[in-house]
Amino acid sequence: MMIPRWLVRCAIGVPAILLFAFAAREFPVIAVFVTLVGGLAGLVYLITTRRSMSPLEPEQEREKYRFLRDTPPPSGG
């Protein structure tokens, strides 16, 4: 039996957030630094993944929707 991926993420994420919260009480400067670095890393990730997604060429766009033109309409009866 495989454990669902979302359950593994939650099982790791919740304790990590709690540990981070407890560490923030003792070391608030480190908590702010980690938050800023994590946020900037997320922004960089979003920017780089959006740039790599180039729009489709017109020929590819036509091929993508070709099946809609080629399939006959459903019969009315």
Condensed to tens digits (0 to 9), the pLDDT of residues 17-64 reads: 888 888 888 888 888 888 899 899 989 988 888 766 666 666 666 666
Considering Cα of 23, then 24, then 28, then 32, what sign does the dihedral take?
positive
Residues 6+ apart with CB under 8 A from 56: 64
Q: What share of the chain is helix, strand, coil (3-state, %, to 5)?
A: 75, 0, 25
User: Taking the complete model, does pTM exceed 0.75, yes or no?
Assistant: no
